[in-house]
Structure 1
Amino acid sequence: MPRWHAVYRRWVLARHYRFAREELVPHFFDALTAYALELARLGVPRAQEAVAALRQLRAHPLPSFTGEAEDVFFSIQAQLAEHWGEEVAGAVRRGLSRNDLDLTVFRAYLRDRVLALLGDLWRFRRVLLREAQAHAGVPLVLSTHHRPAQPTTLDHYLLGVEALFARDHGRLLRALATLNRSPLGASALAGSPYPVDRRRLAALLGFEGPVENTLDAVAAGDYALELAAALAGLGASLSRFQTDLLSWAERGAFVVGESLAQGSSFMPQKRNPVVLEHARVYAGRLLGDTASLLFLNHNTPYTDLNDHSTGALESLAGLLEAAEAALELTRVALEESRFEPALLLEELSPEVLASEAVDLLVRQGVPLAEAYRRVQGALPGVRPELLGVEREELIAWMGLEGFFARREVLGGVGPKARGEALARARKRLKEDRKALAALRARVRLARRLLAKGPEGFQAEEGGKATDQEG
């Protein structure tokens, strides 16, 4: 039995074993079973027995870390050898390295986590659209440069926010496309000495395909960087939205639900919107912790593994957890809280609509520069006598209803434009749901095929061929 140094055992072996045992074991069995199936197809002795042994063994929990097996792979190997013999245990190792095996397992695990996160993001976007519909036409004043700027409506604002998160959804999908490639069959780095079909291995595991170059398959770290960058973008989007909600909560325009607010230990009158603060902490982690992925890939040879495999996995697992927390907390904050329309509009004043007075004068034939000077001179209050227009005419022109009605451009705040934007956003959300369901279905199908064995896989392939021919 290896006698590992206590420090190495604590900070590396035991820690990694515990994470793998809790999170990665199903993916190890998937990858090993797929590889054994491929070896059995090639006629490697005892490989078919290894497939059956792996299927039986995965139903039993692996032992905790004792130091006898340095990692989960060798723990599985030890169990195979003990119960099915050394030859069966050795059959599945023909041409297999922990390099391609671990990277395959890590990518499969991360793929599942990203798919789950995309589901969380989809649900969050759905809530945004529901809130937009529920608050259609509710006016509010938004600021630019931290000063009141122009009126809009709450649904117009929320539709803009949803559009931002729809792009985050797209960035995560593109990162997933890079991630969703199989290293299996790359062996240590030069490729398996057995003629395994790497495309078939990828299909067995539900990947879109293999990472083509076998060195790239085990040495690349950019899949982690791309995913981290997409998560950082999501964190920035969440943080900006949370900042607005906290600003409105500060003046009572957004009232956080009782189940999400905490009181003060000293001031009995306070109900603090802490759910948004905690959500902002998680969003901040998405930005800050991303830097570790860059450093793991900086100045490392294009062969080193732990920096951009185990190290990247730990960082990405933390980022994905933070993303889930930030999304879920922000979503329930929306679902369990309420907006106060009167307070959303408390910054409305004639000055906020001064640009409308300029437009009125221009429409009456006043040159733009002169109209701008006149309105500036009529402030505060936009006094009609200084503009040369009738008071009733100015009041009618500068009303909110007219302001919104004049803005029926694509994506504008006009009632018709908002209705059309909501319809487009719902359609986009529906399409994203279908695409996400297709990705999940591919993974589920792969797992069913693994459970059927090579005959089931061949039958499925034959069925597909028949369908295509028909």
Structure 2
Amino acid sequence: MRWHTVYRRFVLGRHYRFAREALVPHFFDALTAYAMELSRLGIPRAEEAVAALRELRTLPLPSFTGEVEDVFFSIYAQLSEHWGEEVAGAIRRGLSRNDLDLTAFRAYLRDRVLALLGDFLRLREVLLRVAETHAGVPLVLRTHHRPAQPSTLDHYLLGVAALLERDFRRLRQALDTLDRCPLGASALAGNPYPVDRRRLAALLGFAGPVENTLDAVASGDYALELASALAGLGTSLSRFLTDLLALAERGAFVVGEGLAQGSSFMPQKRNPVVLEHARIYAGQLVGGMGTLASLNHNTPFTDLNDHSTGVLEPLTALLGSAEAALELTRVALEESQFEPALLLEELSPEVLASEAVDLLVRKGVPLAEAYRRVQGALPGVRPELLGVEREELIAWMSLEGFFARREVLGGVGPKARAEAMARAKKRLKEDRKALVALRARVRLARRLLAKGPEGFQAEEGEKATDQQGQVEGQEHQEEPRG
């Protein structure tokens, strides 16, 4: 068939190139797992197909020529040419591109999300390390863009860390939805051969199958959920980066030399551009949700390109933006420094005026009256207008006293901050351990595929022990990305 040049340019060629660059290993994994399952069922030539797929995947896939429409048919054509049509045809028994494509798509996205979660953990680790290094360093925080109350740098950063922890949980939840295998669903009604779909999912390192076979090929919510989690992450990072830019504006946060740029005209400029670029990437995450929602909106609940093939490029771009935002924010924290004196430049008696109200109330003055007295004593909170001794007021309104009185759960008191730091570190360790286990499961599945049908039973019996050993041996190690 000769495809129209416009269709080849904007659809077939573009999709083929993307699949050739990003999806080929996942197509071979899915086809190999499926051939192994057919071999277990005694389908003729299926075992030969397993061997043929293993050999073929070591060879480069041809570039797009227009002779075949997609990567699957390119693989099928080569199997037919070099191993014969019966071997090639064996892997198509009960297989549809519907379940095959969605399996490859989900496996690809799963691996990208696992890598991104590693980037996320590294940022959280750096955030806690910077907070611990600056424990007790005071600063003035704002509400409604005006100086409000004192806090400490570690208390502020622990608040950011808590927000990012929830974003991490949302991304993990999106992965839980994504981490399900469509293989064996066939076109939509289910496979005519008695394939074990749970076994297929295990062979490919998924947590399990997508249960309903129509849902397996028709749902696009896994993409929506992932885009939503990334949008939430982008929002949180953007808010943090906006704060850092505000601190950089007055010199309280000095960006490292390797992350700043000068001006082509003004020699005095040293611009904290790393924060701006990180915020650009964060903004792209927020905007991506609209694209994914549009691809799913008003589409019937059937297999369609809108919510299958159509989501891959936008999601790939979003995952790239998420990596950039996380990594740029991380290096900005690692390579820059806070200036303690400038963090406190907005400290004034007015910032501690609420403490004067509290002092009067503790002395028996009604709250409303105390509030009016302090307002009338501004600016400077003059003690003669409050009816208290100057020394007493100064001691009560000291930063040390302010912090010491706030030892509630999550407060800025020294003990409360130390306890919050310990809990945050514990949660980080638990999240790292869980990620190691997820990665171990995928690695084990790939080892099963490499060993073939003869090694599956023995390996499956050792699965739990092997995974636990990997978790225990690697939970403190930094795994390379991807």
Q: Give yes or no for TM over 0.5.
A: yes
- Are 2:38 and 1:39 equivalent residues in the alignment? yes
Give the whole-Å Cα distance in 1 for the aligned partners of 2:405 and 2:179: 47
Which residue is equivalent to 2:28?
Answer: 29
Instruction: Say if 2:273 is the partner of 1:268.
Output: no
CA distance in 2, matches of 1:351, 1:311: 56
Question: Which residue of 2 is the match for residue 251 of structure 1?
Answer: 250
Distance 2:455 2:427 in 1: 36
Aligned residue number for residue 147 of structure 1: 146
Give RMSD over aligned pairs: 1.1
Give matches, 1:27-426, under 5 Å: 27-426=26-425
Equivalent AA in structure 2 for residue 297 of structure 1: N
Task: Decide whether the 8 Å contact of 2:140 with 2:150 is kept in 1.
Answer: yes
Q: 3-state DSSP class of the match of 1:140? A: strand
Render the CA deviation track for 1:207-229: whole Å, top value 9, x for unaligned: 11111111110000111111111
Question: Which one-letter code corresponds to 1:211 in the other structure?
Answer: V
Letter of the structure 2 residue corresponding to residue 380 of structure 1: P
Secondary structure of 2:302's aligned partner: coil
TM-score normalised to structure 1 length:
0.98
Task: Give the letter for the 2:5 counterpart.
Answer: A
After TM superposition, the score normalised by the length of structure 2 is 0.95
User: What whole-Å deviation, never above 9, does each CA across 1:55-105 have from its counterpart, x for those lacking one?
Assistant: 111111101111112111111111111111111111011110100000000
Distance (whole Å) between structure 2 residues aligned to residue 465 and residue 278 of structure 1: 43
Measured in 1, the distance between the counterparts of 2:3 and 2:382 equals: 84
SS of match in other structure, 1:148: strand
2:471 matched to which residue of 1?
none
2:63 aligned counterpart, secondary structure: coil
In the TM superposition, what is the alpha-carbon distance from 1:465 to its structure 2 partner?
9.3
Does 1:430 find its partner at 2:429?
yes
Which residue matches 1:17? Answer: 16
Residues of 2 paired with 1:278 and 1:224: CA distance? 25
Q: In the alignment, which residue of structure 1 is the partner of 2:2?
A: 3
AA in 1 matched with 2:349:
P
Which letter maps to 1:333? A
By how many angstroms is 1:174 displaced? 0.6
| Residue 448 of structure 2: aligned partner | 449
Deviation at 1:290, TM superposition (A): 1.2
Distance (Å, rounded) in 2 between the aligned partners of 1:393 and 1:466: 65
> Partners of 1:79 and 1:153 in 2: how far apart?
64
Give deviations 1:283-305, integer Å, cap 9, x for gaps: 00001121011111111111142
* Partner Cα separation in structure 1 for residue 126 and residue 55 of structure 2: 43
What is the percentage of aligned positions where both structures have the same residue?
Answer: 85
Distance 1:399 1:61 in 2: 70
Partner Cα separation in structure 2 for residue 64 and residue 357 of structure 1: 75
Structure 1 residues 452 and 283, CA, compared in 2 at 3 Å: closer, same or farther?
same
Kept in 1, the 8 Å contact 2:140–2:149? The answer is: yes
| Aligned residue type for 2:134 | H
Offset of 1:463 from its aligned partner?
Answer: 4.1
User: Could you tell me whether the CA contact under 8 Å between 2:98 and 2:303 is conserved in 1?
Assistant: no
C-alpha separation in 2, matches of 1:169 and 1:81: 45
Change (3 A) 1:160 1:19: same
SS at match of 2:151: strand
TM-superposed deviation, 1:454: 1.3
Residue 464 (structure 1) shift: 5.5
Indicate the SS of the match to 2:388.
coil
After TM superposition, the structure 1 stretch with the greater mean CA deviation from structure 2, 95-104 or 2-11, is: 2-11
How far does the alpha carbon of each residue in 1:5-47 deviate from its partner, in whole angstroms, 9 at most, with x for none?
A: 1111111111111111111111000000000000000000000
Q: Shift of residue 351 of structure 1?
A: 0.2
CA displacement at 1:462 relative to structure 2: 3.6
CA distance, structure 2, for counterparts of residue 225 and residue 289 of structure 1 = 10
Moved more, 61-70 or 31-40: 61-70
| Distance in 1 between residues matched to 2:57 and 2:460, nearest whole Å | 26
Q: Which whole-Å CA distance do the structure 1 matches of 2:322 and 2:463 have between them?
A: 38
Q: Residue 464 and residue 137 in structure 1: after superposition, are their counterparts in 2 closer, same or farther (change >3 A)?
A: closer
Q: Deviations over 1:161-187 (max 9, x none)?
A: 011111111001111111000000011
